[in-house]
Every structure is written in structure tokens, then in C-alpha cells.
Structure 1
């Protein structure tokens, strides 16, 4: 998703742009509708900072973080074209909790610093920081950068149906991803706001609209 940021003209303006700006962390399980939500907020003129995009950026060809990963795991993590072999790394960490921890120890600090830099460049009245594992803490502690948490919720059956239709993934693969995420109950427990996405897009957007107004009002009080 595009990010409509304007780079501040000075270090002072960059620092002041983070505080007192309201940062809303947006999360939810696979297939819940996070992308639809961030697209809607973007269309309202709100800056979107996407942890998935950042994760790809910090591991880009030639990046410092990718070189760290190469030193840790070996040359096999980089393909002949110099890009990260994401499929091979994903296969490793999916089967090895220790490898996942080592990967996160390298990537999470880089993700957090990149997110902070993008927050400093934001110019909208409040900011949406979107991360699939925001609450679990597996997104570089990004929840600590947020003043409010919005969870997009859906039943497990709905998640499975949407995710399999969207990504053409197997049900077993989707269930494995869901198993690595918090349960609905745990995720919602940590939320300030929960939107249940169980209907069509128009109904979903109708639920987001009052939250947008709420966040605009809260942003004025920061």
C-alpha cells in the first residue's frame, strides 16, 4: 500500500511530528480484513505505515539487515540475484523455533527503527500502524509506539474462507498460520477498539467511520 508521507525539513520537525501525534495500531488475524481497513483509512487521508512493507524493505537486496542474516545463517539465504531467498528462510523458521528467534533478533530492531522513521515523516492528523502480530510482540515491539489498538475481528471459519480464496493457500497452511497468532479472545482482550468484519465491505466501512471520527477527536487532545 502506498504511503503518502512528506519528509520534514529539519530534525526538529521530524522529532516533533511523532509526539503528540496519535498512533493507532491496527491488527487482526489472517483473513480478518486488515488490508480492507487500512485501504479505507488511507482513502480518508490517513497515513498508513505497514509492518509487512517495512519487513520487506529492511531485507532488501544489499541491505545491512540482509547481510547480518547472511552472516548468521550462511550464504544460502541469498539467491543468485542478491535478493533474500524468502521461501528457504520461511521453511527454516517454520520448522525451528530457535531459528525464528534468531531471525527476529536480527530483523525486529531494524523494523522498529524504520517504523519510527516513517512515523516521523507522517503528516496526517493521526497515523495507522498496521502489523499482523502487533500484540504478540513479534513485530519489533511496535505496539509500544501506539497509543490505541484497533483489532479487526472475524470468526475462524470466515478467516479460513477468506484467506483460502484470496491467497489460494491450503487450509492446513492457513490453520498453521492461525496457530502462531493469538486467539480471537486474547487479541480482543488487548484491544481498545474491536470491529467485527462479518458482512460486506459497505457494512464494514460503516463500522470504521465512527472510529475515524473518534481518532480525529482524540488526535486533537494529544
Structure 2
């Protein structure tokens, strides 16, 4: 029987580090952000839905979605963010679970940043990659070269990470070194 583990956390909490570790150990990881990028490619279902709903303003001359401009607008406009959420939710959910069902692996990890916010279900376990908000903020500002205000807009658009802790099966503490994180993951994997 296939075991499905959801991985989530806050933006810049270290989910990519966790999933890179799992992939390097031969585990299959389905990445929601990668699925979204596929759906947003020219002609993809989400691309068409965004263009039909929001118009050509957020597209580059070559037809590609201008992710930077679109992201800035979406994170600063709650009404547009809600509208986008309604558009993309079913498309993304269906694509993720199609990939999961098509997998030949007995153990599949699904990296879904908004797992709790979007009420995803169907997991045997949910792992939360945890860092306090101040570390999250510093990492996001550095990683994306954002001002504090822009970084906070992105962080605050998600459920507070401390609230997510109460919903997760396992908490993966990512406040220390990568070696400490990998040791923690090795222990958790041996338990499942």
C-alpha cells in the first residue's frame, strides 16, 4: 500500500532543503510549486485561466507569465489573491494527485506549501518544516532580495507557522545546521 507524506512549512522555512535531502536518498518528491510552473507554461491550464481572468497585463512580450510582477500584485492585493486561489485550486489539486497516483513508489512525499491553508487531505503523515517567524523573515529577505515589508506581505499571506505546528504529525526543526537537519530526517525516516 502506498504511503503518502505531505511536507509543508512557511515560506523560506527550508522545505526545499528537506525535499532535496529526500530526493538525494532516492525518495520520490512531488513538488507543488513545480506542478504550478508546469500548469503556468504557455498553453497550460493555469496559464489560460490567468490570462482569461486577469488579462494580458501580467504577460511578457514572448507570451510568458511575468511571475515577478504578477507575484507582487497578488501578494499586495487580497481580492486578486483570493480570485487566483479560486482559479488555481482545483487545477493544482487534481494535477498533484494524478502524479501521486501514477507513482510506482510505495512512499511518496508531496511538497505543498499551502497544505493547511487549502485543506489538503489524504496523507498518512504531515511533516512541518519549522523555523520561527524572525528566521523566516531574514531568510526570505535574503533569498528573494525583498524589503522587510514585501517579505512580511508574503509571510502574512500564509497561516502562522506556530498555528501549523498544532496540525502537523511531525515537526522538523530547521533552526540549526544542515547536518543537524539531515540527522533529524534520517531518524524520522527510520521510524516510518
Provide TM-score, normalisation by structure 1: 0.80
CA shift at 1:152, angstroms?
0.7
Q: 2:82 aligns with which of 101, 121, 124?
A: 101
Match of 2:136 in 1: 159
Structure 1 segments of 4+ aligned residues over 4 angstroms from their partners: none
Match of 1:58 in 2: 39
SS class of match (1:176):
helix
CA shift at 1:148, angstroms?
1.2
After superposition, the Cα gap between the structure-2 partners of 1:178 and 1:95, relative to the gap in structure 1 and judged at 3 Å, is closer
Matches within 5 A, 1:180-195: 180-195=157-172
CA shift at 1:58, angstroms?
0.6
Separation in 2 of the partners of 1:198 and 1:69? 37
CA shift at 1:35, angstroms?
0.8
Q: What are the superposed Cα offsets for residues 77-97 of structure 1, whole Å, 9 maximum, x if unpaired?
A: 332211112233323322332
SS class of match (1:144):
coil
Note if 1:30 corresponds to 2:11: yes
Give the unaligned 5+ runs of structure 1. Answer: 1-19, 216-222
Give the unaligned 5+ runs of structure 2. Answer: none
Larger Rg: 1
Match of 2:66 in 1: 85
Provide TM-score, normalisation by structure 2: 0.91
CA contact (8 A) 1:46 1:125 kept: no
CA shift at 1:115, angstroms?
0.6
Cα RMSD (Å) = 1.7
SS class of match (1:146):
coil
Match of 2:145 in 1: 168
Q: How many residues align?
A: 192
For CA contacts below 8 A with separation 6 or more, give which structure has more relative contact order.
2
CA contact (8 A) 1:163 1:169 kept: yes
